[in-house]
Structure 1
Amino acid sequence: MDLEYYLADVFTHKPFRGNQLGVFPQADHLKDHQMQTLAKELNFSECTFVQSPQKGGDFKLRIFTPEKELPMAGHPTLGAAAVLRSLGRISKEEFTFEENVGPIKVSFHPDGWISMEQPLPRFGAIFEEPGMMSPLVGLTTQDLLPGGEIQMVSCGLPYLIIPVKDQEALNKARVDREVYNSAKSKLNFGELYLWCRGEKSGTYHTRMFAPGVGIEEDAATGSAAGPFVCYLVRNGYGELTDGALEIEIFQGENMGRPSHLKARTSYGSQGYSQVLVSAKVV
């Protein structure tokens, strides 16, 4: 079987950085098990498969990790958009992907950034005993941000957001598979997203571990950036400007794949009204 596919680096403006992505732009004829096999063969954190729309969008997008299909994801959405644009299959500045979570609007900007609009946040459980969660990532309670909220948040995919006190603590995080599997059998929590403040205001360093879906560590996690910026607003970590918080996220340094993400949320008297995550793609 001859298949056309493309490789993209997402959340970077330089090749061989950011998060790797395989994009299959003509995937109507592929069955589910074939897409899963291809994703496992390429062994990136995700691969995308572009199909004809079924619900009024411009394209249907299927997203697979090496182990399972996802309802949506950040860098696959943005990377697939960039590839389709480069192939001349998208000429307008805004279009819609049909993903399993629902319609996802994507926008191209004159400065080269591409944005996706994510579902509005859903806030889940707060884990009030840090000592229960810090061993999941090989840390102690002394490594965590004092008074920081450990909470589940989702804008399409659920993440357990864990604040650590500084970059030194962030750098030494490691998933203990035995502890993780034991905790997962007893507690309901999402993939693990750790963060600390950057040196400049409005900047953050993050890491994401998702052993449950076959991703030991992710170089850049767009589907976590949306929940994260909403979490910052909810917990008073960021100052709103004109009813919005915009942040920059740096991830992937520990993997040799430095990545740069932007995330923005609008918040007012009626709550959250928009969640945007943006990338450059090469």
Structure 2
Amino acid sequence: MSLAVTVVHACQRAGRGGSPTAVVDEARLSAAERCAVPVAAGTSHAVFISTGEHGEGRPAVSLRFFTAAGELPACGHGTVAALAVLAERARTREYEAVLRAGGRTFLGQATGGDHRYEAAFDPGPVQLRTPVAADRQPVLSALGIGPEQASVRCRIASVGRPRMLVRVPDRQALAELTPDMTRLRDACDRLGLLGCYVYSTPSPDGRAAARMFAPSIGVPEDIANANSTACLAAHLAGHGLSALEVDMGDSLGEPSTVTATTRPGAVGPLVRVGGTAMIIEEISLA
């Protein structure tokens, strides 16, 4: 069966980089065949889309996300990529849809045209907790962060799946990280973590850099990770920051930026996260 794939670079920075993502219409494929799509397309992730009609006249779209290692309940840059493709197909400069993924329903929007879109969505409520030292230390050790780095701060954040947020002093400390991926995968597996999102101390205006290491799902380092940035935004909302711009992908030669905003909600901050997506090409997989 021939499979049509749209390759989108999600969360670009100034028209460059971004995370290559395969967007595919839902098809009769096994889990193994779905996992093979990002490998064949040369992307880290694939998102499968199925469209319908919502009761309020807006399109309803179901999303499923896969890496080479298996299915994910959520993928932020995959959602950004899907919204760009859906907006392009709708031939409208302002697109809105009801999205369904990971057992939840939420809104997504995209604006733009000519293959380039600004997309954002509601990632859902973020749960935060502080890890105990026995859980924190194996992850920090695998990252190469010693206990002498007193500025290190850690939180466990969950939106879909939990991951550890780790703060380092600055961008230089972030760039110099050389994690032991085998040890990091073992530590994350033991704790049931998706991976580890390491970020530099944000500037007063909310600018930061980050690297997402997720060897447990077959992605040693992610070019852009929107859901983890949403988790960081929820964490920092309690410290007076309501808007973030997080640079990622520089260590991989793919400059990316994820944006997030927060506002007060009844049971915690309400987050919107997104980025710029560029539709690059259509390919066919045999």
Q: TM-score range by the shorter chain?
A: 0.7 to 0.9
SS in 1 for 2:85: helix
Shift of 1:185: 5.5
1:83 paired residue number:
85
Contact 2:102 2:160 in 1 (8 A): no
2:20 paired residue number:
20
How far, CA to CA, are the matches of 1:52 and 1:30 in structure 2?
A: 17
| CA shift digits 1:106-144 (9 cap, x unpaired) | 012469521111111112442346544321212223346
1:145 paired residue number:
151
Label 1:30 to 1:92 Cα distance change in 2 as closer, same or farther (>3 A).
Answer: farther
Tell me whether 1:223 sits opposite 2:227 in the alignment.
yes
2:121 paired residue number:
116
Tell me whether 1:164 sits opposite 2:171 in the alignment.
no
Q: What is the TM-score normalised by the length of structure 1?
A: 0.85
Identity of aligned residues (%): 21
How far, CA to CA, are the matches of 2:46 and 2:208 in structure 1?
A: 26
SS in 1 for 2:191: coil
How far, CA to CA, are the matches of 1:88 and 1:177 in structure 2?
A: 42
How far, CA to CA, are the matches of 1:90 and 1:28 in structure 2?
A: 25
1:93 paired residue number:
95
Q: What is the TM-score normalised by the length of structure 2?
A: 0.84
Q: Which moved more, 1:95-104 or 1:54-63?
A: 54-63
Tell me whether 1:39 sits opposite 2:44 in the alignment.
no
How far, CA to CA, are the matches of 1:159 and 1:200 in structure 2?
A: 25
How far, CA to CA, are the matches of 2:12 and 2:139 in structure 1?
A: 31
Shift of 1:228: 0.7
Shift of 1:36: 1.8
Of 90, 105, 108, which residue of structure 2 is paired with 1:106? 108
| CA shift digits 1:206-250 (9 cap, x unpaired) | 00000000001011101111111111123x2xx25xxxx111111
Shift of 1:20: 0.7
Shift of 1:19: 0.7
Alignment size in residue pairs:
271
5+ unaligned residues in a row in structure 2: which ranges? 279-286
Contact 2:16 2:256 in 1 (8 A): no
Contact 2:247 2:258 in 1 (8 A): yes
Of 61, 64, 79, which residue of structure 2 is paired with 1:62? 64
Question: What's the Cα RMSD here?
Answer: 2.6
Shift of 1:184: 4.0
Shift of 1:13: 5.5
Contact 2:11 2:224 in 1 (8 A): yes
Aligned residue identity for 1:101: G
Contact 1:151 1:161 in 2 (8 A): yes
Q: Which moved more, 1:176-185 or 1:114-123?
A: 176-185
Shift of 1:277: 0.3
2:258 paired residue number:
261
How far, CA to CA, are the matches of 2:159 and 2:7 in structure 1?
A: 26
How far, CA to CA, are the matches of 1:262 and 1:173 in structure 2?
A: 23
Tell me whether 1:193 sits opposite 2:197 in the alignment.
yes
2:11 paired residue number:
11
Q: Relative contact order, CA 8 A, sep 6+: which one is greater?
A: 2
Contact 2:93 2:112 in 1 (8 A): no
Shift of 1:183: 2.6
Aligned residue identity for 1:49: F
| CA shift digits 1:55-85 (9 cap, x unpaired) | 9761211110111111111010110110122
1:281 paired residue number:
277
How far, CA to CA, are the matches of 1:201 and 1:96 in structure 2?
A: 31
Shift of 1:279: 0.8
2:207 paired residue number:
203
Give the number of the structure whose residues are more often strand, by fraction: 2
Aligned residue identity for 1:17: G
Tell me whether 1:134 sits opposite 2:140 in the alignment.
yes
Tell me whether 1:51 sits opposite 2:44 in the alignment.
no
5+ unaligned residues in a row in structure 1: which ranges? none
How far, CA to CA, are the matches of 1:211 and 1:61 in structure 2?
A: 23
Contact 1:28 1:52 in 2 (8 A): no
